[in-house]
Amino acid sequence: MKTDSSTYPSSLGDITVFRIENASGAFVELSTLGAGILSVNVPDRNGKIGNVALRYANPVDYYADDACMGKSPGRYANRIAGGHLTIGGKTYNLEINAAPNSIHGGPTGFQNRIWDAMLLADGVRMTYHSEDMEESFPGALDVSATFRWNEKNELSLVFRAVCDADTVVNLTNHAYWNLRGADSGTVLDHILKIKAGKWLPIDATHIPTGEIEDVDGTPMDFRVPKKIGRDINSDFPPLNIGGGYGQCWVFDDWQPGKFQENLVELRDECSGRILIMGSDQPGAQVYTANRVTDTPLNCSGRSYGPQEGIAIEMQHFPDSPNKLNFPATFLPAGEIYENHIVWHFSLLKYS
């Protein structure tokens, strides 16, 4: 495995970008700003290596971007209704940064911090210390994000965290994928499969209602592979609210701490590339970048537009601290939080 790093000065301090390349020439680029995935470069059906993760040309431009491009949000990824949560009988009021709710841990969150990093033989371990009451979350939290890249074109990410007080934690990565290439247009022709028979209905502010509904007979049914664009414009309330997909799916057969393979499959028949994801999390927030506009410039010198990528965020459910019927995101003082995510890139087989 070949490793290299580059440094980019910013107003926050130096940002380090690591490149990890396997024997086939496929490689990933990872940033200490927000524990971010900048690029994943894998072969297409003709053997040409290209980047399949949406990225900005300048690593400094990831700071405070609306899309949270490729970064790892926290302390609580996704939304918390009204910014309110109660722990041990005490209510904490988080900053409202997606009115009327809080999202991704607040306006700065983990995604806009520079993490410390240690280069590994096959990846990078990044660490961040979140102070007590940072973004109004209780407890001093130490978190690590360990990325590894292997010869099978698998990128793995393990989050671990421990806090000195009772708190809540929900971590994920917010990479956007386009298997045809990071500057190739929309993903509406990509074919998606999700191993989930249920999903979470939302209100007009994108907060789950608390109900868990079957996907049967709805545009939310991806148990049989179908093109992302097939039903995206259906007259269906959650699609109308978000202008496309932006909901959480509930994985079949989830058990706490159990890793499941082949939970999500994304494929592009034009390039021949396939992405298969596994995780130990109970759900995936799938977002087709419906509101992504006016981003920092990408490597082609233009901004990204709507639906040019798809984010598949393995995580616990939005607003879980306020929904007692959802899997808990409560982390007792001194206990270890863990979250495992694997992205496996391969190729379609042609006869």
- Provide the residue ranges of all domains of the chain, joining segments of one domain with +: 2-347
Which residues, in sequence order, are CB contacts of 235 under 8 Å at separation 6+?
none
Burial class (CB in 10 A: 0-12, 13-18, 19+), 279: buried
Which pLDDT belongs to residue 351?
A: 54
Q: Which residues of the chain have pLDDT under 50?
A: none
Percent helix, strand, coil in the chain, to 5, is 5, 40, 55
Considering the four listed CATH numbers 2.70.98.10, 2.30.130.10, 1.20.1260.10, 3.65.10.10, the one that applies to the domain covering 2-347 is: 2.70.98.10
User: How far is residue 133's CA from residue 126's CA, in Å, rounded to a whole number?
Assistant: 22
Strands 191-194 and 226-227: antiparallel
Q: Which two structure tokens, joined as six digits, stand for 326?
A: 């959802």
Which pLDDT belongs to residue 171?
A: 98
Q: Identify the sign of the CA torsion 186, 191, 195, 198.
A: positive
Q: Which tens digits make up the pLDDT trace of 336-347?
A: 999 999 999 999
Which pLDDT belongs to residue 349?
A: 85
Give the residue from 50, 100, 310 showing the smallest Cα distance to 204. 100
Residues designated catalytic: 174, 313
Give the 3-state secondary structure of residue 142: strand
Kindly state the DSSP code that residue 298 receives in the 8-state scheme. Answer: B
User: Does the pTM of the predicted model rise above 0.85?
Assistant: yes
Amino acid at 17: V
